[in-house]
Amino acid sequence: MPDGTMRPTALRAPYHHGGLEAALIAAARAIAERDGPDGVSLRAVARAAGVSQAAPYHHFADKDALLAAVAAEGFRELRAALLARAEAAGGDPFERLRALAAGYVGFARARPALFRLMETPAFQRAGAYRALDAARQKSYLPLADAVAECLPGASRAKRVNACAAVWSLAHGMAILASDGRLGGLVDLSDLDKATDALIRQLNIAAAPGA
């Protein structure tokens, strides 16, 4: 193509992208899942979306804001995955709790790069990204609810403690499993079962199966 500057209008990409914001989020996520969170450069994202390097700044304040949007999408998907598992688990609260924990760990294991991005400490700072905060908060609720239902008569302190224990255990497992570091201790090929075994070690409810 000898004439680069005057390509026929029909073949040239339209000046206005149309859905650039969504395209940037998708491209950033794809790159993050391929090369890890640190492999994401704003310029590469822009290239992948077919726009100039400065175009993203019309949709995101800076690079962190774009990554925060990706993370928020991740939390929404995490929430959806948790709700689906809870639904499938049926009515027993402890059963549901174990399903939620397994879902949490499984999500991290299935999308390690995305999970790592969601855990990036730059975005933890509450108040910095409101949409992210909201999505994160909402993603944690199913777990807290299930814990509360497991301990109907307990004091608030007891419930809070149990909630912290479950969350910490699931979070720790999620991180260790997503990095493959739990491999020497538990069978990562059947992560649901492994999570079950660990959650059962918590004094949350009388574990029926044993």
Partner DNA sequence: GCATGGTCCTGACGCTGTAAAGATTCGGTT
Partner DNA sequence: AACCGAATCTTTACAGCGTCAGGACCATGC
Q: Does 155 bind its own copies (CB under 8 A)?
A: no
Residue 64 touches DNA, criterion: CB under 7 A: yes
CA 160/CA 5 separation, integer angstroms: 64
Q: Is 51 in the site for DNA (CB under 7 A)?
A: yes
- Alpha carbon distance 104, 171 (integer Å): 8
Q: What residues between 21 and 50 interact with DNA by CB under 7 A? A: 40-44, 46, 50
Widest Cα–Cα separation across the chain: 78
DSSP state of 9: T
* Contact (CB, 8 A) for 24 and 66: yes
47 Cβ contact partners less than 8 Å away, ≥ 6 residues apart: 53
For position 147 contacting its own copies by CB under 8 A, the verdict is: no
102 binds its own copies (CB under 8 A): no
Residue from the set 2, 18, 90, 127 that interacts with DNA by CB under 7 A: 18
C-alpha distances in angstroms, 203 versus 81, 119, 188? 25, 27, 24
- Per CB under 7 A, the list member of 2, 8, 16, 155 interacting with DNA is 16
Specify the residue, 62 or 87, whose C-beta has the smaller distance to its own copies.
62
CB of 99 within 8 A of CB of 88? yes
Judged by CB under 8 A, does residue 192 bind its own copies?
Answer: no
In the complex, the smallest distance separating the C-beta of residue 2 from DNA, rounded to whole angstroms, is 17
Rounded to whole angstroms, what are the CA distances from 42 to 1, 18, 25, 56, 57? 28, 19, 11, 8, 10
The residues in 31-90 that bind its own copies, with binding defined as CB under 8 A, are 36, 38
Which of 23, 204 has the CB closer to DNA?
Answer: 23
Closer residue to its own copies (CB): 60 or 104: 104
* 88: three-class secondary structure by DSSP: helix
Token pair 């944690």 in the structure block, residue: 140
Contact between 162 and its own copies per CB under 8 A: yes
What residue ranges bind its own copies (CB under 8 A)? 36, 38, 116, 119, 121-122, 124, 160-165, 167-176, 179-182, 185-186, 194, 197-198, 201-204
Report the interface residues with DNA, using CB under 7 A: 14-18, 20, 40-44, 46, 50-55, 57-59, 62-64
